[in-house]
Structure 1
Amino acid sequence: MQRRTVLKGAALGGVAALGAGFWALPSGEAPAAVSLDAAQQLLAGLVDQPLRSLKGWSPAEVFNHCAQSIEYSISGYPELKPGWFRSSVGPLAFSVFAARGAMRHPLNEAIPGAAPLNAPATQAHALQRLQQAFADFAAYQGELQPHFAYGALSHADYAQAHVLHLYNHLSLIRPA
């Protein structure tokens, strides 16, 4: 009985925090429309541009991280959050991000169990990897794997999640 009370309290606290977090999300203009095509065009504009990161990961690491997320949506994430999380808090968080049209998450937090972000090491090659991941995802017709936190997502929801994820990370990338 006490466990149920704790779980209910945690769930209600999470809902309240997410509701408050909705208003804390950025409301400014996204760098492009929230679509696969717009994200791909934005990335194409970064080719051959020297970039720097305001803090945290280098541009190459950011591109590798975003590519990993897209690749794992097809192949499967190495580690998943517990089922109760993927069926409650995770989908609720995604619905807040989707409704707001913006995502905010720790920008130096690796995907659980993911490979190191050092390959490919150059910005140009990491950007190519990310562009290829977006192209592969756009063309993919098979069943997508559950997101490590959000759980099962449709292709359209995953597309939105990947674009919002990229835009959140690009908020720390500037021309050098």
Structure 2
Amino acid sequence: MNRRNFLAATTLALTGDFVMADLPKVGSLDDALRWLDSLDKAAGVKTTGQWPMVSVLEHMAQSVEMSLDGFPQPKSALFQNTAGAAAFAFFKWRGQMSHSLSEPIPGAAALHREGDWRPASARLRAAIERFTRHQGPLKPHFAYGALGKADFALAHAFHIANHQDEIVVQAR
């Protein structure tokens, strides 16, 4: 967690009865489903980042959906096969991703900025379940290029875990 998010989470914890989620870090898509279960049971959920919960969850759902349906604005094949592939290899080696938590997927539909986050949580859950059941080829990632299913599942888990850093839950 970066300093800004730590300070924001600490302020929430002191003033609004919110605490950093005492949940294991997402390391797989099964973990992500269990994490969504925990969010759904929480008294309240907020982000310490620039996006509201609904946007964060929609963004994660879009990423999983696009691995099945295609990314609208992929980077060039040269980028995917060089910098993009190197970035994913580094994240895989490190065991985690770090990226801008307020940067939308290029060309993706606009994210909702207001509203209940629970439908977005259900959308992410449905996207993960659809991805898990999927048997056919996957679409290339807009930056990393072609990934096998195991690597794409890992990329999705890393992506969700990175956003998990900015989520706090209300203590019951």
**Corresponding residue for residue 46 of structure 2:** 52
The CA distance in 2 between the partners of 1:158 and 1:144, in whole Å, is 9
The CA distance in 2 between the partners of 1:62 and 1:168, in whole Å, is 11
Q: Which amino acid aligns with 1:32?
A: K
The CA distance in 2 between the partners of 1:175 and 1:40, in whole Å, is 16
**Corresponding residue for residue 64 of structure 1:** 58
The CA distance in 2 between the partners of 1:89 and 1:55, in whole Å, is 27
Runs of at least 4 residues off by over 2 Å: 30-33
Q: CA RMSD in A?
A: 1.6
Scaled by the length of structure 1, what TM-score is found?
Answer: 0.79
* SS of aligned partner of 1:142: coil
* Gaps in structure 1 of 5+ consecutive residues: 1-29
Q: Which amino acid aligns with 2:79?
A: F
User: Relative contact order (C-alpha < 8 Å, sep 6+): which is higher?
Assistant: 2
1:39 aligned onto 2:32: yes
The CA distance in 1 between the partners of 2:121 and 2:151, in whole Å, is 23
> How many equivalent residue pairs?
147
Query: Which of 108, 111, 125 in structure 2 is aligned with 1:117?
Result: 111
Larger-gyration structure (1/2): 1
TM-aligned CA distance change 1:163 to 1:95, over 3 Å: same
Query: Which of 72, 77, 99 in structure 1 is aligned with 2:71?
Result: 77
Q: Which amino acid aligns with 2:67?
A: S
The CA distance in 2 between the partners of 1:32 and 1:172, in whole Å, is 12
TM-aligned CA distance change 1:133 to 1:37, over 3 Å: same
Q: Which amino acid aligns with 1:44?
A: D
Q: Which amino acid aligns with 1:54?
A: T
Quote the offset at 1:68 in angstroms. 0.1
Percent identity, aligned pairs only, is: 41
Quote the offset at 1:31 in angstroms. 3.2
**Corresponding residue for residue 160 of structure 2:** 166
Quote the offset at 1:55 in angstroms. 2.0
Contact 1:107 1:169 in 2 (8 A): yes
1:143 aligned onto 2:148: no
> Bigger shift: 92-101 or 44-53?
44-53
Contact 2:67 2:140 in 1 (8 A): yes
The CA distance in 1 between the partners of 2:126 and 2:113, in whole Å, is 15
1:104-134 CA distances to partner (integer Å, 9 max, x unpaired)? 0000000000001118942111100001111
* SS of aligned partner of 1:52: strand
**Corresponding residue for residue 6 of structure 1:** none
